[in-house]
Structure 1
Amino acid sequence: MGTWGSGNFDSDTAADHLSVLTARLVREVEDAMGGDPVELEPDEYWGVAVPCNLEVLHVLASKGWVGVELPAAATVEAWKATFLAVWDARIDGLEPAPGHKEQRRTVLERTFDQLAEAIRAR
């Protein structure tokens, strides 16, 4: 097909690029979820980076561009259960400021849920 429009993401090459980019983001989350749960703790790198990856994937999914490859919604829901179990087990030990724990957990839930919903809608 080649090029089908004048937009930055309206070509086979752009679709290939998005496929590589989204596969990397998904692979990083898969690796983090399958690794040592300590790495998912709220003050660890993947405890911060996983939600960031999911947010970026959601933005890309919402654009409807060709080449955005996403996991199944059920996979995202399983990730949510794993991630929030670690969050719930460790957040109190970090002595969060009043209200932070509840507010942040709401954001985390929304992050997983909005990606799962976007996947279902595709």
Structure 2
Amino acid sequence: MGTWGSGNFDGDTAADHLSDLTGRLISEIAEAMSGDPVGIEPDEYWGVAVPCNLELLGLIAAQGYVGASLPAPETIADWKSSYLAVWDRTIDDLEPAAEYKEQRRAVLVRTFDQLSELAKR
């Protein structure tokens, strides 16, 4: 209990804060992923915010701080499958350049995969 170091995240209160913060990010993703798939289309708010939240979770988790939580790898795999299905089904409606489409999809896949790897640790 208390403090175990001099860093900003080396104490119980900081761990509680990180738990709350990562919990909110996970809850937002879960809600977006369980809602109407239109909400996660590439040009919709959650279509942009979900990958942002995933990357933020990964950045936090990579630090190894106590209190940072991640969803189970199976949950991340389900999210990836659902998200990319919507992406693949709708991205051409926006008429993106082929290079952008390819590069963006690769970034999305990498974002999910990196978080999944962190969750397996």
| TM-score between the two structures when normalised by the length of structure 1 | 0.98
Q: Stretches of 4+ moved more than 3 A in 1?
A: none
Q: May I ask how many residue pairs the two structures share in their alignment?
A: 121
Distance 1:30 1:118 in 2: 18
Distance 1:74 1:34 in 2: 15
Distance 1:70 1:103 in 2: 26
Deviations 1:22-75 (A, max 9, x none): 000000000000000000000000000000000000011101100001110110
SS in 2 for 1:74: helix
The alignment-based identity, stated in percent, is 66
What pairs with 1:46-85 in structure 2 (closer than 5 Å)?
Answer: 46-85=46-85
Are 1:27 and 2:27 matched, yes or no? yes
SS in 2 for 1:49: helix
Question: Over the residues paired in the alignment, what is the CA RMSD in angstroms?
Answer: 0.5
| TM-score between the two structures when normalised by the length of structure 2 | 0.99
Q: Which position in structure 2 is the counterpart of 1:106?
A: 106
How many Å apart are 1:102 and its aligned residue? 0.5
SS in 2 for 1:99: helix
Unaligned runs of 5+ in 2: none
How many Å apart are 1:104 and its aligned residue? 0.3
Distance 1:77 1:110 in 2: 12
